């Protein structure tokens, strides 16, 4: 069945370091792919998305490229800030089941000044 | 355009009581999803509803849990006779009539604590 595997955390970085959070998926067809971010005590916010192969989603300095050949959607940022500290979730919708989202296990990022 | 609204934000119940969680989707959104986030676990799908219809409840526990999305008013997730294991954050998400990407917009969640 469809699934998402995400790099385990927690990840601790210093401010201005580079970030990569790995995400791979198994899916029927070519679904859209999403990254959501959850700040402490809050709900999930859509960070970025890609709707087809080779699409690059980007937002707030974060980027992720939909790679069909490696079934991956890794999240990257060149220079993290303390305010990026949060939990990041990779997700894909199951089209033939009403679009419900399958999430990776989440990666907690902590950025130190 | 207001976002997805959930209330209450925090709910404390004693074992055996009932918990009612409310979700108002974004304006123009007709699809509602409920997810549960248990401590140390990820987000798991529970149920998908459209107005007056349950479309997919494959993630709902078979007993004590029910959901509705009436023609008027918010969607309700109801947990009867709560147990400690029900303590979790419950998130509602909504989406517009289906577009190409199926993205969902989440509310702030209701954090249920069962004592």
pLDDT at B103 over 60: yes
The DSSP code sequence of A30-76 is ---EEEEEE-TTS-EEEEEEE-STT-EEEETTEEEE-BTTTTB--EE
Report the C-alpha gap between A65 and A56 in whole angstroms.
4
pLDDT at B108 over 80: yes
Confidence of residue A8 (pLDDT cuts 50, 70, 90): confident
Give residue B75's pLDDT.
97
Cβ contact, residue pair A44, B95, below 8 Å: no
More confident residue, B100 or B38: B38
- Helix, strand, or coil (residue A96): helix
Distance from CA of B87 to the nearest CA of A (A): 15
Cβ contact, residue pair A99, B95, below 8 Å: yes
Confidence of residue A7 (pLDDT cuts 50, 70, 90): confident
Mean pLDDT, chain A, whole residue set:
93
Give residue B64's pLDDT.
97
Report the C-alpha gap between A73 and A55 in whole angstroms.
10
Rounded to an integer, the average pLDDT of A43-71 is 94
A interface residues, B as partner, C-beta within 8 Å: 31-32, 34, 36, 42-46, 49, 51, 89, 93, 95, 97-106
As a whole number of Å, the end-to-end CA separation of chain A is 41
* Neighbouring residues of B2: CB distance < 8 A, sequence distance ≥ 6: B26, B27
- Name the residue among B56, B101, B108 with its Cβ closest to that of A97: B56
Rounded to an integer, the average pLDDT of A33-58 is 93
- Among A7-11, A76-80, B36-40, B50-54, the range of highest mean pLDDT: A76-80
- Of A8, A101, A21, A91, which is closest to residue A63 (Cα–Cα)? A21
Mean pLDDT, chain B, whole residue set:
92
- Helix, strand, or coil (residue B111): strand
Structure tokens at A53: 């192969």
Confidence of residue B68 (pLDDT cuts 50, 70, 90): very high
Report the C-alpha gap between A85 and A108 in whole angstroms.
8
pLDDT at B96 over 80: yes
What does the pLDDT look like over B32-66, one tens digit per residue?
A: 999 999 877 789 999 999 988 999 999 999 999 99
Report the C-alpha gap between B29 and B42 in whole angstroms.
25
- Name the residue among B55, B101, B106 with its Cβ closest to that of A43: B106
Locate the chain B residue with the closest alpha carbon to A8. Answer: B42
Rounded to an integer, the average pLDDT of A4-31 is 92
Confidence of residue B1 (pLDDT cuts 50, 70, 90): low
Going by their DSSP bridges, the two strands B88-95 and B31-37 should be labelled as antiparallel
Task: Choose the weakest-confidence range: A4-8, A34-38, A65-69, B12-16.
Answer: A4-8
pLDDT at B4 over 70: yes
Percentage of residues of chain B with pLDDT beyond 70: 96
* Cα angle: A105, vertex A108, A111; to 5 degrees: 160
Q: Which positions 74-93 of B are in contact with A (Cβ < 8 Å)?
A: 91, 93
Report the C-alpha gap between B50 and B31 in whole angstroms.
5
């Amino acid at each position: 069945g469809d699934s998402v595997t995400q790099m385990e955390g927690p990840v601790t970085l210093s401010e201005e370091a580079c970030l990569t959070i790995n995400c791979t998926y198994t899916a029927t067809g070519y679904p859209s792919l999403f990254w959501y971010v959850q700040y402490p005590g809050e709900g999930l916010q859509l960070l970025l998305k890609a709707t087809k192969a080779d699409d690059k989603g980007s937002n707030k300095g974060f980027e992720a490229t939909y790679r069909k050949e490696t079934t991956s959607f890794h999240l990257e940022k060149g220079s993290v800030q303390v305010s990026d500290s949060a939990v990041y979730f990779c997700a894909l919708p199951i089209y033939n089941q009403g679009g419900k989202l399958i999430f990776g296990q989440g990666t907690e990022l902590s950025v130190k000044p | 355009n207001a976002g997805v609204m959930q209330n209450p934000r925090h709910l404390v119940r004693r074992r055996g009581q009932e918990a009612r969680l409310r979700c108002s989707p974004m304006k123009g959104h007709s699809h509602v999803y409920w997810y549960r986030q248990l401590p140390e676990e990820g987000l798991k799908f529970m149920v998908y509803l459209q107005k007056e219809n349950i479309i997919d409840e494959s993630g709902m526990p078979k007993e004590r849990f029910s959901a509705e999305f009436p023609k008027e008013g918010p969607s309700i997730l109801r947990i009867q006779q709560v147990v400690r294991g029900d303590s979790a954050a419950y998130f509602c998400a909504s989406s517009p009539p289906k577009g190409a990407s199926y993205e969902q917009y989440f509310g702030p969640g209701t954090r249920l604590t069962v004592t």
